[in-house]
A and B are shown apart, each in its own frame.
Chain A
Amino acid sequence: SQQGEEDPQALSIQEGENATMNCSYKTSINNLQWYRQNSGRGLVHLILIRSNEREKHSGRLRVTLDTSKKSSSLLITASRAADTASYFCATRSGGGADGLTFGKGTHLIIQP
C-alpha cells in the first residue's frame, strides 16, 4: 500500500525556475526520504530528513518536514534540464533497515 501522496502529480516549469513538490503521509515516521527516478539512472536517493528535524539542505535541494501535518516539501532551486525526472517521497516508520513506503511520485519536466 502507498503511504505518501505527492502533489502535484505532474509539474512543468522553465529552466532556471524553482520547483516545489509536496508529500503527505498517513502514519508516524522515523524518517522521510526523497528519491529521483529517471530512465537513465534508475532510483537515486536525494536527501533524508529525520522526524525530529524541520528543514534540511543539500546543494540545490531544500526539504522541510512538518510532523504535525504529516507533510513534507522538496524544493529544487535554479532548475536544470537534467532535473527532469519523477520524484518520490518515501517514509520509514521504524528504525534500522525496515523497508520504505513510497508515494506515487511527482513527474517534473524542465522546459529548456
Chain B
Amino acid sequence: EAGVVQSPRYKIIEKKQPVAFWCNPISGHNTLYWYRQNLGQGPELLIRYENEEAVDDSQLPKDRFSAERLKGVDSTLKIQPAELGDSAVYLCASSSSRPQGWLTDTQYFGPGTRLTVL
C-alpha cells in the first residue's frame, strides 16, 4: 500500500512569492491533515479535512494561507505571499475513520515539503 505522497520535497522561494504544496493521502483515508513543523519543534496542526470539508482550520493563518481538498482526495496548501517566518517543513497526514478501534487514531504522515523563504 502506498503511503502519503507529497510534492515537492523541497522548495526555495523569495519572500512575497506564492508557493503551493500538494498531498495525496492513503487510498480510502477520508481525513486529511496539514501540519507545519518549525526547526527543533514538533508539528503543529494547520487544518483538518473530513472528505472535502475543512472541519478545523482554527490554526490556519487565513490572511496568507489557503487550502483545498477538491473531490475529497488530493489536497493543496497555498501560501501567498510567503514571508521569511514561513520557512518550515509542511507535513501532510491522513487517517481512516472506519471503525477499527485504535487504528482510527493513527495518523500516517508523508515525507513533508521543506520550504525555505529567502
Interface set of A (CB-CB < 8 Å, partner B) = 1-2, 4, 31, 33, 35, 42-45, 48, 50, 88, 90, 92, 96-105
- In the assembled complex, the Cα of A48 lies from the Cα of B107 at a distance in Å of 11
Interface set of B (CB-CB < 8 Å, partner A) = 31, 33, 35, 40-45, 48, 50, 56, 91, 93, 95, 97, 102, 104-112
- In the assembled complex, the Cα of A91 lies from the Cα of B8 at a distance in Å of 29
Let me know if B56 and A99 touch, CB within 8 A: yes
Given contacts A97-B48, A97-B50, A98-B48, contact A104 B102 (CB under 8 A): no
Inter-chain contacts of A50 with B (CB < 8 A): 102
Most buried by B among A33, A48, A50, A97: A97
Q: How distant is B65 from chain A, measured CB to nearest CB, in Å?
A: 15
Other than A97-B50, A97-B95, give 12 A-B pairs with Cβ distance below 8 A. A33-B105, A35-B109, A42-B109, A44-B109, A45-B108, A92-B105, A99-B35, A100-B43, A100-B107, A103-B42, A105-B41, A105-B42
- In the assembled complex, the Cα of A6 lies from the Cα of B66 at a distance in Å of 31
Q: How distant is B24 from chain A, measured CB to nearest CB, in Å?
A: 15
Let me know if B110 and A42 touch, CB within 8 A: yes
Given contacts A42-B110, A42-B112, A43-B109, contact A101 B45 (CB under 8 A): yes
- In the assembled complex, the Cα of A33 lies from the Cα of B112 at a distance in Å of 20
Can you list 7 A-B pairs with a CB-CB distance of less than 8 A?
A: A43-B112, A44-B109, A48-B106, A97-B95, A98-B48, A104-B40, A105-B41
B97: nearest residue on chain A (CB-CB)? Answer: A97
Inter-chain contacts of B45 with A (CB < 8 A): 99-101
Let me know if A99 and B108 touch, CB within 8 A: no
